[in-house]
Structure 1
Amino acid sequence: MDPLLVLLGIATFLVAGLVKGTLGLGLPTVAIGLLSLVVPPATAAAVLMVPSLVTNVWQALAGPAIRPLLARLGPMLGASAAGTLLGAWLFGAPGPAAVPLLGAALILYALLGFFRLPLVVRPETEPWLGPLAGLATGLVTAATGVFVIPAVPYLAALGLSRDALVQSLGLSFTVSTAALGVGLLGARVLDFWLLGVSVAALLPTFAGVVAGQWLRGRVSAETFRLGFLVGLLLLGAHLALARLL
């Protein structure tokens, strides 16, 4: 294996873990966005499997409200899993065409964060809007390997407490990661070698998460949020335009 590629992988998961530890999300967004600069998106998604699943299960179980959240979000989570599997069947593994799609998803996510759009989901709309958001998230996950759009804006619009929101993100990301893993196995992208690389990526990921948790109490959350969004916007623009240049 190319030593430079190994160093890039370690740095990528350190940075992605740092973002995850600080904000509670962003691991797949940062990791796949950076890795897709040097490897196919499907390979990047496969390498992310173990770190993403482990950190998201940890995040989902850390809060006190898992049962009420599962009852409330169950239809959305089920639709997300179904959408991911449907997308894997329709699109196959994320391929070269996923790169500009991923860039567009990152740009959209960054713009939503910049403008702080006052999205609110009314309780009476949850029975149909939740599954719709889950299905759309699943299709985007299958196409790009990233599962933040539209799941994160939808969950943020539910008016949950901070702890419940972080836990709901963990639940959503866990389901999406597991479903994407099944899709990658079906597409014969995730093999034993990549699984071993994914397990090895746990160490820098956890180091980054711990550093992010330390950083969270010492740096203004708003300053870090703005820096993160600027980085996502630039990375998204690069990926979206890469095939045109």
Structure 2
Amino acid sequence: MTALELATAAAVFLAGGMVKGTLGIGLPLVAVPLLSLVIPATQAIVLVAMPVLVSNAWQAVESGNLQGLRRFLPLIATQLVTTLLTVPMTLALSPRTLNAVLGAVVLLAVVLLCLPLRLQVAPTRERWWSAGIGAFSGAMGGVSSLTGPLIISYLASLRLPREAFIGSISLIYLGSAIPLYGSMAAHGRLGGTELLLSTLALAPVACGLTLGKRLRSHLSETWFRRVLLVFLTVVAVVLALK
């Protein structure tokens, strides 16, 4: 990466951290498509590895609610399988095609965040719903690393308490991130250099998280989310046309 690309990446991770600090979600949703405007999409996916792994592991432990691992095991299991199946196909795509796919996934994410699911999932059917959601989100994650919007909509439909929601979604994110980045490493896309750069990205992400927390107390979350969605729509269209 050139000096300009490194500076751009630092600014992107700062922005991603601010979004996560303000909304509690959205780090890869912001960082991956923005980085893909200046570097190859596969490299962008790799660079978010450490921020995603560290932030979600920390949130999972901090929540103290690890029971979600057993409850959402069907989701995590199918997500793992489809992630591993999708990553090799993703790596075989041309940069132009992958940008178009990533743009489409970002647009789908925007739609899901604008129109959250209003499901009524019976406890007796939750395991089947979880398995299906896991399969679809794993395919999305294998292509773009963006599993968040679908998982958020599904967990919101289950009306989980706040701490249970945070603990469960962090575990699910880890369940998708570990096979994704493990597969990237196995295919030679996550080496020592990429791992070092991804680790260095923790610094601007931490600064962004701090700024986001301060911003949250001064800015309406509703308006911030609207601006973010409009911004992501523009980025998705640019990616699709790139």
Is TM more than 0.5 here? yes
Residue aligning to 1:168? 168
User: Aligned pair count?
Assistant: 241
In 1, Cα distance between equivalents of 2:120 and 2:61? 26
Once superposed, what is the RMSD of the aligned Cα atoms? 1.8
CA–CA distance in structure 2, aligned partners of residues 120 and 25 of structure 1: 24
Structure 2 residue runs of 5 or longer lacking an equivalent are none
Check the 8 A contact 2:28/2:48 in 1, yes or no: yes
Match in the other structure for 2:121:
121
Identity of aligned residues (%): 34
* Local SS of the residue matching 1:81: helix
Q: CA–CA distance in 2 between the matches of 1:24 and 1:95?
A: 33
Conserved? CA contact 2:121–2:157, under 8 Å? yes
Contact persistence 2:78–2:131 (CA under 8 A): yes
CA shift for structure 1 position 93: 6.4
| Partner residue in 2 for 1:75 | 74
Check conservation: 2:90, 2:98, Cα contact below 8 A: no
* SS in structure 1 at match of 2:214: helix
CA distance in 2, matches of 1:132, 1:98: 24
Distance 2:238 2:120 in 1: 31
Matched to 1:215, the amino acid is L
Q: Is the 8 A contact 2:72 2:127 kept in 1?
A: no
1:42 and 1:93 in contact (8 A); partners too: no
Q: Which residue of 2 aligns with 1:87?
A: 86
- d(CA) in 2 for partners of 1:179, 1:94: 19
Find the residue that maps to 2:72 and give its secondary structure: helix
Letter in 2 for 1:188: G
- 1:76-117 per-residue CA deviation (whole Å, 9 max, x = no partner) reads 112111211121244436752222222122212212322345
TM-score, with structure 2 as normaliser: 0.92
Moved over 4 A (4+): none
**What is the TM-score when the length of structure 1 is the normalising length?**
0.91
The runs of 5 or more residues in structure 1 that have no matched partner are: none
Whether contact under 8 Å (1:28, 1:147) holds in the other structure is no
Q: Secondary structure at the match of 1:124?
A: helix
**What is the deviation of 1:175?**
1.5
Question: Does structure 1 residue 191 correspond to structure 2 residue 194?
Answer: no
Judged with a 3 Å threshold, the aligned counterparts in structure 2 of structure 1 residues 98 and 65 are, in CA distance, closer, same or farther, namely same
> Shift of the alpha carbon at 1:189?
0.5
Q: Give the direction of change, closer, same or farther, for the CA distance of 1:94–1:130 in structure 2 (3 Å limit).
A: farther
CA distance in 2, matches of 1:2, 1:77: 37
Q: Deviations over 1:142-177 (max 9, x none)?
A: 112222253222222211123322222211111211
Write out aligned runs for 1:7-46 (5 A).
7-46=7-46
Q: Give distance in 2, aligned partners of 1:94 and 1:44.
A: 15
Give 1:205 shift.
Answer: 0.7
1:93 and 1:142 in contact (8 A); partners too:
no
**What's the counterpart of residue 133 of structure 2?**
133
CA-to-aligned-CA distance 1:27-83 (integer Å, 9 cap, x gap): 11111010000111111111111111001111112213222x112111111211121
